[in-house]
Structure 1
Amino acid sequence: MLDDILRVSQDGQRVYLSAGNTQHTSEQPIEKKQIKDWLVHHQADAFFCFDDTIESALTKLNTPNDNSESEDFIIAERRDATIEARIADDKMTAYLIVNGACGGRGLKGDDILSTLREANIVRGIKKPTLQKLLSASGRLKPGEYLDVPVAFGRQPVAGEDAHIVYLIEDPADRVRRPREREDGTVDMRDLGEMVMVKQGQPLAKLVPETAGYEGFTVTGSVLSTSSGKPMTLAAHEGSAFSNKDPNILIATMAGIPRLQNDGVAVDDALSLDVVDVGTGHVNFEGSVVIKGDVEVGMKVTASGTVTVGGVVESATITAGADIIVQNGIIGRQVAADSDINCILVADGNIVAKFAQYATLCANKNVELTLHAMHCNTQVGQSLTISDTTKRKGTLAGGKHEVGEKLRAVIVGASAGAHTYIHCFPRLPLLKRQMVELNKDWEDKTAQLDKVKAAEAKLEALPPAKRDAAMVERITSTRDNLFEALDEIEKAIEETDTTIEASYRAASITATKSLLNRVHCTIGEEKHSINSEHGPSVLFYDNAAIELKPYQQNS
């Protein structure tokens, strides 16, 4: 019966089912399973079956009194394996989609290569993946498919910036990180030997910038990269370039190293056990190393770094570089509301374990490990009070002017002393500068208007009556005014940018506790703390000081 309505085409590529005005002679309807069994019997079960078509044909075939014309339905056909390419939108990944053969020819290597060529997939092709895909495609059952990434682009890698590797210890680091005992504990009093270098000792090495690597897409487009930024290693006083390697600095003399942004200087060092009435005041061109204390009333002045192994007590130290005090800075008030008699002034940084009743002025940063009590500080950049564990570090009392950031573990005192903090104190100066620049711009603009009027009068005269010398003077004056206005406008823009950047950089952070009696100013905006807070940060936003919880990972 089924042989009457089912047949394979002469070329063996398709299977037809005939249905129409002549119904099958059996009283039982023909089911789809019978069709499938017939396909198996005639070795056509691997063909691609059109299941919806089979259902439609059987409906027509099994419908009584269907007088419609006979119709041949293609219910299955032999299909070769197919392959197509798909490329991601960013063109960084390409895929091959393989549909398994349905009684037809399987996938061949040439099929894969031609598909890649037609899709213009030319770079980042993984040949082992192609081989595995070809092998796996032969195991696909009819109707199964593979969707496999076979090519990958490469993102460009920017070159690394040139940088300096210091080959010696920073003297200030020994205060920040005291020596560790064998049992793992730290002795805050034992900071090791003074950092000294010998003549010929390597100081720093320049690691040049790298070019980076270009990237590419799977279609072959080149993704450009950028080289790292170069920098110059400079030989400062007391250092020179090595004859063996021009990227290495060596010491030309024994002394105290002073790390610079672009190299290392070595200062001639004056070494003293203590500074007291026996030694007298010290004034030295170079660095001064004091193994012990600087005692009451003494003065130390140096063009380089001053390193103190003990305590500075009610003394004055002035340094052209850093001041490093391995223990504490202790002063006292001469009388109530009078000046403090312990003063440290550094053109670089001030680093110490603690300070109390002291005036600390640093052009760069002040870093204290334990506390600052009742001190006055003037800091060009940042004031930081914290040990390496971030568990200790208290700022209480005093007045503090900080160019950018203040950070301490605890800020303020629960009772007693008031603490005054002013971040970005340069704002009034910059505002005055802006007013003066705008006034200068208005004056120059008024002068330019007069010059243009005089120039217009001259141009109205016949050429024969124009004074050539006058024309030259007016032209020269006009050009000079244009140039001056350009410079003023640039200065206005730079000042405005400095104000905005300084506001963004200014912040006051207490990583553990912000206590009361803290009076904060950022620029010209003020905010007083009258209750205790946990970890907190104050910053400038929307013309006001905002107080928010401090996140430990920020």
Structure 2
Amino acid sequence: MLDDILRVSQDGQRVYLSAGNVEHTNGQPIEKKQIKDWLVSNQVDGFFCFDDTIESALTKLNASPDDAESEDFIIAERRDATIEARIADDKMTAYLIVNGACGGRGLKADDILSTLRDANIVRGIKKPTLQKLLSASGKLKPGEYLDVPVAFGRQPIAGEDAHLVYLIEDPTERVRRPKQREDGTVDMRDLGEMVMVKQGQPLAKLIPETSGYEGFTVTGSVLSTSSGQPMTLTAHPGSEFSNKDPNILVATMAGIPRLQKDGVAVDDALSLDAVDVGTGHVNFEGSVVIKGDVEVGMKVTASGTVTVGGVVESATITAGADIIVQNGIIGRQVAADSDINCTLIAEGNIVAKFAQYATLCANQNLELTLHAMHCKTHVGQSIIITDATKRKGTLAGGQHEVGEKVQAVIIGASAGAHTYIHCFPRLPILKRELVNLNKSWEEKSAQLDKIQAAEKKLDAVPEEKRDAAMVERISSTREHLSTELSEIEATVEETDAAIESGYKAASIIATKSLLNRVHCTIGEDKHVIHSEHGPSHLFYDNAAIELKPYQANG
């Protein structure tokens, strides 16, 4: 009988199987299933079974003669539920691993708490998860386990930088957003009223930087954060700080707003219906608003922004800020040498719908929505030619010098016109500066060597025989030369950085088509387009201009 070879220990914690020197079931081999059935019938089937041990014991039992020496095998034992903690390598997540009870005591709340405490898991603990884990552990069958994340660290959140929120419309945006009719279509000729502000009108609000939030690990270590960068709100001419809120600027006068990086200026505005032979040339200290056209041969000069509601035709406009033309800029060649009789010069941006046969000089950006045809441009930062749909925008013909980037939907002309684009034209100037700086450094360094040699000779002279005035002159000269050399070295580093950043920023992008006869120069390197390409991106890399397909998200 199985009762002759199987027994439960007196303390009820283990099950033994005796092999050897025991008679069993008429000499028939005993199978593992019989052992399992016995465990069920004796209500110890919930114990943890050592299956490999049962196999070994049965092998010996069934093979041994009856007089073989008896050996007891522990084939099952009562086990309480167990729990252990596991912490991820980055200490941002902690897990509890629960093994179900095998005939023993189930998991208790104190077991969970003590395991967390022993593993030093002290922050980010999810108490509802612990309660669910305790409940679920009681339903585990013998041999089943749970591996549950119960605590989570928090990554630090950096503070946001201070930034400016403009409370008025940007006048330059109106060119890009024509007025919508009631039927949903737009009227390209009607761009709405000119942007004006009233005295006392809020202009901009400073949103201060935030301090951010510290992070932590599940073991309680603090992960430091960084505060956002502060920003100074500046009251430019025509604006002042609000009495109610020092972070808000208000207008001190009625006029044309001019958005700045750190505030808003308001210019006194001269409003004219048109500029023609009837008004004569215009020269105004402030901003000029021209509701209609600037006609052939007229000149407009303003210290602020010049806004034109119509077209500029073969005229000259000079602005201390932006030039905004609601419609087009139209000029024409006046001689065989390709001189152009329409010139716009802006310290800020030039924004218009289109331009043709015009000289356009902008210290910042040139932004057109339709096209630039056969123009000469000198732009400090970028030329952008595209409409709101990004389907129209052509740069064709002409000569264009731009500090950083040229981007248009189509670059080049399908006919025989050549288009010349030069990005980063300052490179030769920066290189000459480097040559001059290195030459100056060598000269100063040679002078310093002579001074240091003179100092050594003086050091060899007994102190009482030295010329005090000479010692002072030499010492002062040495310090002056050392300072000059340090300044030259710093300037060399700045110039090297300017060259590197200039190359990095320089690019020519055609978002749809790059056509034939486009002559591209970046710095001093040239690349001529001899065939039509699709979306294209030209940039400087590995000492040459690279041409690769353009991807809008790249």
TM-score between both structures, scaled by the size of structure 2: 0.99
Write the letter of the residue equivalent to 1:457: K
Alignment of 1:27-42 (within 5 A): 27-42=27-42
Corresponding position of 2:521: 521
**Separation in structure 1 between the aligned mates of residue 66 and residue 491 of structure 2, nearest angstrom:** 95
Write the letter of the residue equivalent to 1:503: Y
Corresponding position of 2:59: 59
Secondary structure of 2:409's aligned partner:
strand
Alignment of 1:164-175 (within 5 A): 164-175=164-175
Alignment of 1:149-188 (within 5 A): 149-188=149-188
Write the letter of the residue equivalent to 1:202: P
Cα offset for 1:462? Answer: 1.1
Alignment of 1:368-383 (within 5 A): 368-383=368-383
Corresponding position of 1:320: 320
Secondary structure of 2:435's aligned partner:
helix
Corresponding position of 1:129: 129
Cα offset for 1:186? Answer: 2.1
Alignment of 1:396-411 (within 5 A): 396-411=396-411
Write the letter of the residue equivalent to 1:228: G
**Separation in structure 2 between the aligned mates of residue 28 and residue 438 of structure 1, nearest angstrom:** 103
Corresponding position of 2:417: 417
**Separation in structure 2 between the aligned mates of residue 529 and residue 165 of structure 1, nearest angstrom:** 43
Write the letter of the residue equivalent to 2:100: G
Alignment of 1:537-548 (within 5 A): 537-548=537-548
Q: C-alpha deviations, 1:238-270, integer Å up to 9, x for none?
A: 000000110000000000000000000000000
Contact persistence 1:269–1:289 (CA under 8 A): yes
Q: C-alpha deviations, 1:128-148, integer Å up to 9, x for none?
A: 110111111111110000000
Write the letter of the residue equivalent to 1:6: L
Structure 1, unaligned runs of 5 or more: none
Secondary structure of 1:26's aligned partner:
helix
Q: C-alpha deviations, 1:360-405, integer Å up to 9, x for none?
A: 0000000000000000000000001100101000000000000000
Contact persistence 1:424–1:506 (CA under 8 A): yes
Structure 2, unaligned runs of 5 or more: none
**Separation in structure 2 between the aligned mates of residue 21 and residue 495 of structure 1, nearest angstrom:** 97
Cα offset for 1:65? Answer: 3.4
Cα offset for 1:511? Answer: 0.3
Cα offset for 1:68? Answer: 4.6
Cα offset for 1:67? Answer: 6.1
**Separation in structure 2 between the aligned mates of residue 454 and residue 229 of structure 1, nearest angstrom:** 50
Secondary structure of 1:508's aligned partner:
strand
Corresponding position of 1:196: 196
> What percent of counterpart residues are identical?
85
**Separation in structure 1 between the aligned mates of residue 67 and residue 525 of structure 2, nearest angstrom:** 96
Q: C-alpha deviations, 1:202-230, integer Å up to 9, x for none?
A: 00000000000000000000000000000
Contact persistence 2:5–2:22 (CA under 8 A): no
Q: C-alpha deviations, 1:315-345, integer Å up to 9, x for none?
A: 0000000000000000001022231000000
Relative to structure 1, is the Cα distance of residues 299 and 30 closer, same or farther in structure 2, using a 3 angstrom cutoff?
same
Alignment of 1:274-293 (within 5 A): 274-293=274-293
**Separation in structure 2 between the aligned mates of residue 184 and residue 158 of structure 1, nearest angstrom:** 43
Write the letter of the residue equivalent to 2:318: T
Contact persistence 1:159–1:210 (CA under 8 A): yes
Contact persistence 1:23–1:62 (CA under 8 A): no
Cα offset for 1:20? Answer: 1.8
Contact persistence 2:6–2:16 (CA under 8 A): yes
Alignment of 1:74-85 (within 5 A): 74-85=74-85
**Separation in structure 2 between the aligned mates of residue 482 and residue 177 of structure 1, nearest angstrom:** 58
Alignment of 1:248-287 (within 5 A): 248-287=248-287
**Separation in structure 2 between the aligned mates of residue 159 and residue 25 of structure 1, nearest angstrom:** 80
Alignment of 1:460-479 (within 5 A): 460-479=460-479
**Separation in structure 2 between the aligned mates of residue 8 and residue 107 of structure 1, nearest angstrom:** 24
Relative to structure 1, is the Cα distance of residues 90 and 66 closer, same or farther in structure 2, using a 3 angstrom cutoff?
farther
**Separation in structure 1 between the aligned mates of residue 518 and residue 272 of structure 2, nearest angstrom:** 41
Cα offset for 1:547? Answer: 0.5
Secondary structure of 1:278's aligned partner:
coil
Q: C-alpha deviations, 1:19-53, integer Å up to 9, x for none?
A: 02445252321111111111111110100000000
**Separation in structure 1 between the aligned mates of residue 119 and residue 465 of structure 2, nearest angstrom:** 77
**Separation in structure 1 between the aligned mates of residue 66 and residue 525 of structure 2, nearest angstrom:** 94
Alignment of 1:282-431 (within 5 A): 282-431=282-431
Secondary structure of 2:186's aligned partner:
coil
Contact persistence 1:354–1:369 (CA under 8 A): yes
**Separation in structure 2 between the aligned mates of residue 181 and residue 461 of structure 1, nearest angstrom:** 94
Alignment of 1:90-169 (within 5 A): 90-169=90-169
**Separation in structure 2 between the aligned mates of residue 415 and residue 61 of structure 1, nearest angstrom:** 101
- Once superposed, what is the RMSD of the aligned Cα atoms? 0.9
**Separation in structure 2 between the aligned mates of residue 329 and residue 111 of structure 1, nearest angstrom:** 81
Cα offset for 1:188? Answer: 1.3
User: How many residues of Structure 1 are paired with residues of Structure 2 in the alignment?
Assistant: 554
Cα offset for 1:64? Answer: 4.8
Q: C-alpha deviations, 1:423-451, integer Å up to 9, x for none?
A: 00000000000000000100010000000
